[in-house]
C-alpha cells in the first residue's frame, strides 16, 4: 500500500472526464495496458484518451523454491506508483454518458477503487 | 453576464491549521479577503453556501462582513486531494469600474459535423480574459455546429461579449477536429509501455567476478 494522498496529478487536466484512484498502490504495466485496450474498445475510435500514469518503477522478485541469499531478484514487472486521488485515465470528445460507460469498464480492470470525475465547475 | 451574488460571512477568530480544521469540522470554510491596500480580513463561510455559489460559475461576488459590504473576486479555491471539499477561499477586493484579468471557461455549443469522421479535440478549456469587474462572462461560448474534419477554431475567431478582451495568443487553437490516430497493435503497445532493462548476461557477470 502506498501511503499519502496525491498533491499533484489529482485534477482532470487534458480531457473532460477522468478516472480517479481512491486508494494507493502499484499499478502494473499490464493493468495500464488492459485499461487502455478496454478504453479503446469502449469508445470505438471516437474521442481521445489520455493515460496519466507511467510504469517507472521496476518490481523485483525471487523465483519460487530458491534458497535465501545470492543477491537481489531480477525485475519481474514494471509498475506506476499511484497515490490516493491520482487521475489514471482521461477522456475527451465524448458525451458524458459514453465517457461514464467507458471509464466504468476501465475501472473494473484497475486493482483499486476508482471514481469518475469531471472538470471542476467554477475552478477555472 | 452573471448577476451579483451575495456571500454571507462571519468573523473568524484566530488563525492556524487547528482553528481551520475545527471550522471545517463544523461545516464552515475559512477564507481571507485582501486587496486595495486595506486591512486583510479573515472570515468563515458556510460550506454548502460556498459550494452552491461556486457551482453557479460566479467569479465576482458581493461580500458581506459584519456591517460592511463590498465587491470581491474569487481568486483561489483550495480543494482537498480528491477535489470534493473546499478547504479555503481567497477573495480580492475589486471596484465596479476596475478591469480585472481572470480565466473563463470555454463552452462548446452544438455538434460538430466533422466529429463523426474524426476526433473533436479541445486544447484550450479556459481563456485568460480582461474585462470589467461587474460584467464577467460566465463562459465564452463557441459555436462548433459548422466545424468540419480538419478545421480549427482559433482564439482570433471567437465572438466575445462586449468589453471582454482575450489575452491568449490569437493563433492558439481552441477546438479542432482531427483525424483519429490509428490504433497500434496491442502487443506493440504493451512492449513500448515498459522501459527496457539493460543488464549483463549472467554468464558474462560470473566471468567478470572470476
Q: Which residues of B touch A77 (CB under 8 A)?
A: 194
| Nearest-Cα residue of chain B relative to residue A79 | B194
Is residue A3, in this structure, part of any structural domain at all? Answer: no
The pLDDT score that the predictor gives to residue B188 is: 44
Residue with cell 460566479: B58
Q: Give CATH 2.40.240.10 domain extents, chain B.
A: 6-94
pTM for this one? 0.81
The pLDDT score that the predictor gives to residue B67 is: 74
Query: Parallel, antiparallel, or unpaired: how do β-strands A17-21 and A57-61 relate?
Result: unpaired
Cβ A48–B119 below 8 Å, yes or no? yes
> Which of B83, B8, B78 minimizes the C-alpha distance to B44?
B8
Q: Where are the alpha helices (DSSP H) in chain B?
A: 17-25, 47-55, 186-193, 202-209
Who has greater pLDDT, B32 or B138? B32
Who has greater pLDDT, A124 or B179? B179
Compute the residue count for chain B: 210
pLDDT tens for B131-157 read 998 888 888 999 999 888 889 999 999
| Nearest-Cα residue of chain A relative to residue B80 | A7
The pLDDT score that the predictor gives to residue B201 is: 57
Reply yes or no on whether the pLDDT at B52 is more than 70: yes
ipTM: 0.85
Cβ B183–A32 below 8 Å, yes or no? no
CATH 3.40.1400.10 fits B101-178, yes or no: no
Who has greater pLDDT, B6 or A32? A32
Question: Which homologous superfamily does the CATH classification assign to the domain defined by B6-94?
Answer: Ribosomal Protein L25; Chain P (2.40.240.10)
Q: Note whether B60 and B93 are within 8 A (CB).
A: no
Q: Is A43 exposed, middle or buried (0-12, 13-18, 19+ CB in 10 A)?
A: buried
Reply yes or no on whether the pLDDT at B20 is more than 60: yes
User: How confident is residue B190, by pLDDT bands cut at 50, 70 and 90?
Assistant: very low
Cα end-to-end span (Å), chain A: 33
User: What total number of domains does chain A contain?
Assistant: 1
Cβ A123–B56 below 8 Å, yes or no? no
pLDDT along chain A (124 residues), means of 10: 91 92 95 95 87 96 92 95 96 90 95 89 49
Q: Which residues of A touch B79 (CB under 8 A)?
A: 120, 123
Cell numbers that stand for B120 in this block: 473533436
User: How confident is residue B200, by pLDDT bands cut at 50, 70 and 90?
Assistant: low
Average pLDDT, chain B: 84
Sheet holding A114-118, edge to edge: A48-51, A87-92, A17-21, A114-118
CATH of the domain at A105: 3.90.1170.10
On whether any CB of chain B is under 8 Å from the CB of A20, the answer is: yes
Is residue A31, in this structure, part of any structural domain at all? Answer: yes
On whether any CB of chain A is under 8 Å from the CB of B7, the answer is: no
Helix (H, G, I), strand (E, B) or coil at A55: coil
| Nearest-Cα residue of chain B relative to residue A46 | B119
Reply yes or no on whether the pLDDT at B193 is more than 60: no
Read off φ and ψ for residue A60, nearest 5 degrees: -95, 160
Is residue A8, in this structure, part of any structural domain at all? Answer: no
Amino acid at each position: 500500500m502506498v501511503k499519502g494522498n496525491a498533491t499533484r496529478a489529482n485534477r482532470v487536466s487534458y480531457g473532460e472526464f477522468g478516472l480517479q484512484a481512491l486508494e494507493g498502490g502499484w499499478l502494473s504495466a499490464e493493468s495500464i495496458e488492459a485499461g487502455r485496450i478496454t478504453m479503446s474498445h469502449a469508445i470505438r475510435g471516437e474521442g481521445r484518451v489520455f493515460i496519466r500514469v507511467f510504469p517507472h518503477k521496476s518490481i523485483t522478485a525471487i523465483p519460487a523454491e530458491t534458497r535465501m541469499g545470492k543477491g537481489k531478484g531480477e525485475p519481474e514487472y514494471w509498475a506506476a506508483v499511484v497515490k490516493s486521488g491520482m487521475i489514471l485515465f482521461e477522456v475527451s470528445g465524448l458525451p458524458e454518458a459514453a465517457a461514464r460507460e467507458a471509464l466504468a469498464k476501465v475501472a473494473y480492470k484497475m486493482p483499486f477503487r476508482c471514481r469518475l470525475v469531471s472538470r471542476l465547475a467554477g475552478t477555472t | 453576464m452573471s448577476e451579483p451574488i451575495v456571500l454571507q460571512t462571519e468573523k473568524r477568530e484566530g488563525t492556524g491549521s487547528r482553528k481551520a480544521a475545527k471550522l471545517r469540522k463544523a461545516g464552515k470554510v475559512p477564507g481571507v479577503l485582501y486587496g486595495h491596500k486595506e486591512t486583510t480580513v479573515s472570515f468563515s463561510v458556510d460550506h454548502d453556501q460556498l459550494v452552491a455559489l461556486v457551482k453557479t460559475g460566479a467569479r465576482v461576488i458581493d461580500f458581506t462582513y459584519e456591517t460592511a459590504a463590498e465587491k470581491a473576486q474569487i481568486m483561489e479555491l483550495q480543494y482537498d486531494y480528491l477535489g470534493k471539499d473546499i478547504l479555503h477561499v481567497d477573495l480580492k477586493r475589486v471596484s465596479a469600474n476596475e478591469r480585472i484579468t481572470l480565466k473563463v471557461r470555454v463552452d462548446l455549443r452544438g455538434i460538430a459535423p466533422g466529429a463523426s469522421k474524426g476526433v473533436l479535440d479541445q486544447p484550450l478549456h479556459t481563456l485568460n480574459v480582461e474585462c470589467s469587474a461587474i460584467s464577467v462572462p460566465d463562459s465564452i461560448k463557441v459555436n462548433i455546429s459548422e466545424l468540419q474534419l480538419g478545421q480549427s477554431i482559433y482564439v482570433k475567431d471567437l465572438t466575445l461579449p462586449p468589453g471582454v478582451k482575450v489575452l491568449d495568443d490569437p493563433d492558439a487553437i481552441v477546438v479542432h477536429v482531427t483525424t483519429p490516430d490509428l490504433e497500434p497493435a496491442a502487443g506493440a503497445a504493451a512492449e513500448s509501455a515498459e522501459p527496457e532493462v539493460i543488464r549483463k548476461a549472467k554468464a558474462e557477470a560470473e566471468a567478470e567476478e572470476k
